[in-house]
Amino acid sequence: MCYETNDNQQQTKTVTANPYNYIDTPDMTNQYNTQLSPADESKYEKWRQQQSNVVNRDLSKDENDYDLRGFWQEHPNFSYADKKQHLNDTYKKPNHPTFSKESKYSGTDGYTGGEWVEGKNGDWSYVASPTNLKMRSEIQMQDYFKRVEPDVKLDTSKAKEDKNGS
């Protein structure tokens, strides 16, 4: 947030939007993390730094909504340089935009993930859960899918029904 001064020397507030920073979504950096031994934690941190260099951003920030330690423990040779690979749903935390039933954390603490559905023609849709709409508004979910999953159809109807008790 910054303040600008106009010609009348009054302060006006200007908010710089960050499409990746949903301020009403809980920070789960210190929750839902796989515990590693001290030796493995050191290896993980080295891997995370190497991969941060590959993608030119700090991957520790992804620990807010993804259990990178768990993923690394299962896939220690994963590299962001290989564009054919991607992080699976297994370690998505409840506050991840596409937290799904495939996550090991779905069903934990009352959080239930959404569901990926493949259509007859190989097209994909994501059926959001009440947890998804608890963590983000429908507008935020739509924005995320436009930016990150543009070829996936977002379906929030079931989540809204479940949320409203229908």
Q: Is the pLDDT of residue 1 over 90?
A: no
pLDDT attached to residue 163: 59
pLDDT for res 8:
43
Side-chain-side CA neighbours of residue 139 (13 Å): 3
| Integer angstrom CA distances of residue 101 from 11, 32, 62, 85, 131 | 48, 15, 20, 21, 11
d(CA 152, CA 166): 26
Give the pLDDT of residue 2. Answer: 35
143-166 pLDDT, tens per residue? 999 999 999 999 999 887 765 554
Residues 77-133 pLDDT 10s: 999 999 888 899 999 999 999 999 999 999 999 999 999 999 999 999 999 999 999
Domain residue spans in the chain?
Answer: 25-163
Which segments within 7-158 are labelled E, that is strand? 11-14, 115-118, 124-127, 152-155
User: Tens of pLDDT along 4-61?
Assistant: 334 444 444 344 454 544 557 899 999 999 999 999 999 999 999 999 999 999 999 9
